[in-house]
Amino acid sequence: MVTSLYRIVKRGLINFWRNGWLSAATIAVMILALLVFEGLIIFKVMTEAALGAIQEKIDISVYFKTTAPEDEILRVKTSLESLVEVRKVEYVSRDKALELFSERHKDDPTISEAIGELEENPLSASLNVKAYDPKQYAIIASYLNNESLTVIVDKVTYFQNQIVIDRLTAMIDAAERGGFFLTVFLSIIAGLVVFNTVRLAIYTNREEINIMRLVGASNKFIRGPYVVEGILYGLIAAFFAVTISFPLVYAASPYVEVLIPGMNLYGYFLSNLPSLLVYLIIFGILLAVISSAISIRKYLRA
């Protein structure tokens, strides 16, 4: 068994080097396929970061009447936090609201003077509520419209921003569906291109395969070298794909950060490089080995 395995590996290496130009062409096609696969992974990460940034900007605010006791407001805050739809609730007191308002308009002398002349704080306390999913804001808004809360609640901003929230939700859903279909489509295209390239490589050796069958070689012995070649194609193509990606990701990173604030693409690439390389190696080897196994099956049946 060890001797047979040694011969299979040796023959696979010989075929790989003997068909140098064909091997190089196959690897080049596989590099393109793996770059597409890697691009899809990065695209998915960027899409998730962009959607996360959009979702982070979506919230609803609950403004309370100026006569509402603080302990009642905090009770509402606690009840909101107990809802499964709610991710975070931030309490802004009347004093904090006045402080934020003053800071926001510090460069406007008219407003600053008006604030200084106020004898009483006219601003309301509020709760800023963030949900796990934008679709859940309607449920939260319905909860806040409970009759028992009308005594202390002045208004809920969901109804003023409902159109914007619905549009953002639709945009997020469309982006997720589009990303999924794009991933499937490009993966199929890359797989077909690699399959046909490997099939061409095996076609050039069809006479040698027929001779091996005539002298009594087993199907496993005939198929084995092409599986070895497929593993070599996947390994080499994965390392080249990652190497090519370095300058591309580095060059694109500043533009991505402008488009998606806080998204450090190059930092993500470096920190996830080992796992990314493993994914590419696995995907490349599977793609080449499966393509080889399917392509050679025709000649083993002849």
Residue-wise pLDDT for 107-138, tens only, equals: 767 766 666 666 677 788 888 898 888 778 88
Of 161, 185, 200, which residue is a domain's last?
Answer: 161
Q: Is 154 helix (H, G, I), strand (E, B) or coil?
A: strand
Give the residue among 131, 146, 151 at the shortest CA–CA distance from 69. Answer: 151
Residue whose entry in the numeric block shows the structure tokens 């028992």? 148
Handedness of CA 45, 50, 56, 58 (dihedral sign): negative
| pLDDT category of residue 34 using cuts at 50, 70 and 90 | confident
Give the range of the structural domain holding residue 123, as residue numbers without chain letter: 59-161
Q: What is the pTM of this model?
A: 0.64
CATH of the domain at 135: 3.30.70.3040
Residues 39 and 175 in one domain: yes
Token pair belonging to 207: 């006479």
* 107 and 72 assigned to the same domain: yes
> What's the pLDDT score for residue 223?
72
| Percentage of residues in the chain having pLDDT higher than 90 | 1
- The answer on 279 and 176 residing in a single domain is yes
pLDDT tens per residue across span 251-294: 888 888 877 777 888 888 888 888 888 888 888 888 777 777 77
Number of domains in the chain: 2
* Residues 176, 32 share a domain: yes
d(CA 293, CA 287): 10
Q: Do 69 and 121 lie in a common domain?
A: yes
Q: Which residues have a Cβ under 8 Å from the Cβ of 252 and sit 6 or more positions away?
A: 265
